[in-house]
Structure 1
Amino acid sequence: MAYALEIGGTPKTVPGGTGILLLHPSTGETDRIDTDFLKTDTDRFLVVSTRTTAREVSQKLEYYDVDESCADVLDTLSIERGYSRRSKDHVSYVSAPDNVDGIVAGVADFLQRTDGKRRISFDSLTELAYYAGEDEALSAAERILELLDAHDAIGLFHLSDEVHDQDVVDEFSALFDDVIDLDEDGTVESSF
């Protein structure tokens, strides 16, 4: 299955099973790229959020005019931070942002119970590495890439290249065939 992309500097389509690494500065404006990725040629999408709560994800989607009826959110922060979790369709929770097995299981559950063109946004691997360690974040990325391939879905994985040592960035990059590099000034370069 082919998926359309509407991100400047990228191919018009990518095949199912594609994982894309979004390298960005720590202060980079990733929301535009993320929401352009999510709202194009999609039946359902899942936002795995290790950086913001489900409420903040919902606000971002609304701001960028993304169809929330297609959205599922896996919130890894609210329980650990003691925030109230409003009962809402298509929002699930993981006990803590370092619960890698729970995150991977949440992605697997989404892919098993949905069909059609599915996209995953993982925001972000950097935050996961902060909470669970870089080896665990690498393992999670690898496991989710395998799920994307098995379910003919695609994913966009955020990683701040300013926060990690270059050898760590290289390790993450080696997992992905496709990389989008977002500069401070908003310029996008890609390698597909």
Structure 2
Amino acid sequence: MDYTLAIDGVDTTIPGGTGLLLLHPSIGETDRIDTDFLKTDTDNFLVVSTRTTAREVEQKLEHYDVDESRADILDTISVERGYSRRSSDHLHYVAAPDDLDGIVAQVESFLAGHEGKRRVSVDSLTEMAYYADVDGTYDAAEAILALLDGHDAVGLFHLSKEVHDDETIQRFRDLFGNVIDLDEDGEATVDLV
């Protein structure tokens, strides 16, 4: 199944199973790219949040006019930081951003539990690598890509250009192949294989 990709004036389609790497400056306009990705041509989506709480994700979706009834959120930081949590059918938690197996399992559960067009946003691989390590994060990204392929879904994975060395960035570029490169001025270059 094909999915519409409508980001920054790019209007094309990508096949199910595609993962996109969003390379961005540390302070970049990623919310706009992320929400454009999530709200277009989708039945259900999962936001894997390693930077912000579920409540902050909900506020972002509301601000960018994304249909929250289609959203599942995996909050990976509230437990570790001791914040109050309110579980629901659409809010999920793991202990911390370094619980890579738990994150992959939650993505698998979401994909298996929903029909139709499904999108996953992982925000961000950089935070996962900070809490765990680059090798484990790479393996988790690879596992999520395999799940997307197996469930005919698509995903967007955030990675900061300013935090990682060139070798690490190239390693993730090679894993994904499909890259959205966001510059400091907020302009996005989309490179699809």
Question: TM > 0.5 between the two?
Answer: yes
2:138 matched to which residue of 1? 138
1:17 matched to which residue of 2? 17
Matched, 1:35 2:31: no
CA contact (8 A) 2:8 2:187 kept: no
TM-score (norm 1): 0.98
Matched, 1:4 2:4: yes
Distance (Å, rounded) in 1 between the aligned partners of 2:126 and 2:160: 6
Matched, 1:185 2:185: yes
TM-score (norm 2): 0.97
Distance (Å, rounded) in 2 between the aligned partners of 1:39 and 1:9: 15
Distance (Å, rounded) in 2 between the aligned partners of 1:105 and 1:86: 20
Cα distance, 1:9 vs structure 2? 5.4
Moved more, 125-134 or 9-18: 9-18
Matched, 1:176 2:168: no
* DSSP 3-state at the match of 1:181: strand
Cα distance, 1:75 vs structure 2? 0.6
| Structure 1 gap ranges (5+) | none
2:52 matched to which residue of 1? 52
1:97 matched to which residue of 2? 97
* DSSP 3-state at the match of 2:121: strand
Q: Per-residue CA shift, 1:137-157, capped at 9, x if unaligned?
A: 101110000000000000000
* DSSP 3-state at the match of 2:120: strand
Cα distance, 1:87 vs structure 2? 3.1
Q: Per-residue CA shift, 1:75-112, capped at 9, x if unaligned?
A: 10011111000233300000111000000000000001
* DSSP 3-state at the match of 2:89: coil
**Once the two structures are aligned, what percentage of the paired residues are identical?**
69
* DSSP 3-state at the match of 1:6: strand
CA contact (8 A) 1:9 1:189 kept: no
Cα distance, 1:11 vs structure 2? 5.0
Distance (Å, rounded) in 2 between the aligned partners of 1:187 and 1:81: 34
Distance (Å, rounded) in 2 between the aligned partners of 1:156 and 1:130: 19
Which ranges of 4 or more aligned residues in structure 1 deviate by more than 3 Å? none
Q: Per-residue CA shift, 1:35-77, capped at 9, x if unaligned?
A: 0000000000000011111011000000000000000001100
Distance (Å, rounded) in 1 between the aligned partners of 2:103 and 2:184: 30
How many residue pairs are counted as aligned between the two chains?
192
Q: What amino acid is aligned across from residue 152 of structure 2 in structure 1?
A: D
Q: What amino acid is aligned across from residue 132 of structure 2 in structure 1?
A: A
Distance (Å, rounded) in 2 between the aligned partners of 1:188 and 1:47: 21
Aligned CA distance change for structure 1 residues 41 and 53 (closer, same or farther; 3 Å): same
2:88 matched to which residue of 1? 88
Alignment RMSD (CA, Å): 0.9
CA contact (8 A) 1:9 1:188 kept: no
Cα distance, 1:5 vs structure 2? 1.1
